[in-house]
Amino acid sequence: MTGGFRPTGSGSVRAQDRRQPAAPDPSLHIDWTLCDGRGLCTELLPELLSRDEWGYPLSPDGSDVRVPPSLVPAARDAVALCPRAALRLRGVA
């Protein structure tokens, strides 16, 4: 046989070679064109969001907020209860 290819005995891929990389934590997206500053999301997710003086949510760095797995249920609640439907949870099945 020529070349660098050496077949394995069974031709199957080992389980460790088939593993998927770990998915990143989901993220919470705020649509600023819809947000009305009611502040409900900040009450449901105080670990992730703070509130400015007008009630608008503030993320730590001004972009989408990473949601750790333990807070996904609370993030789902915030998305479902947002009165202006301004929240989206990305990266969750």
pLDDT at 20: 67
pLDDT at 14: 58
From the number of C-beta atoms within 10 Å of its C-beta (0-12, 13-18, 19+), residue 89 rates as middle
Model confidence at 93: pLDDT above 80: no
Per residue in 32-75, pLDDT (tens digit) is: 999 999 999 999 999 999 999 999 999 988 899 999 999 999 99
For 10, list phi and psi in degrees, rounded to 5.
-95, -15
Domains present along the chain, CATH in parentheses: 24-90 (3.30.70.20)
Query: What is the overall mean pLDDT for the chain?
Result: 86
pLDDT at 85: 98
Residues 46-71 as b/e (b if ≥16 CB within 10 A, e otherwise) read eebbeeeeeebbebeeeeebbbeeeb
d(CA 74, CA 70): 8
Per residue in 11-39, pLDDT (tens digit) is: 555 555 566 666 788 999 999 999 999 99
pLDDT at 17: 55
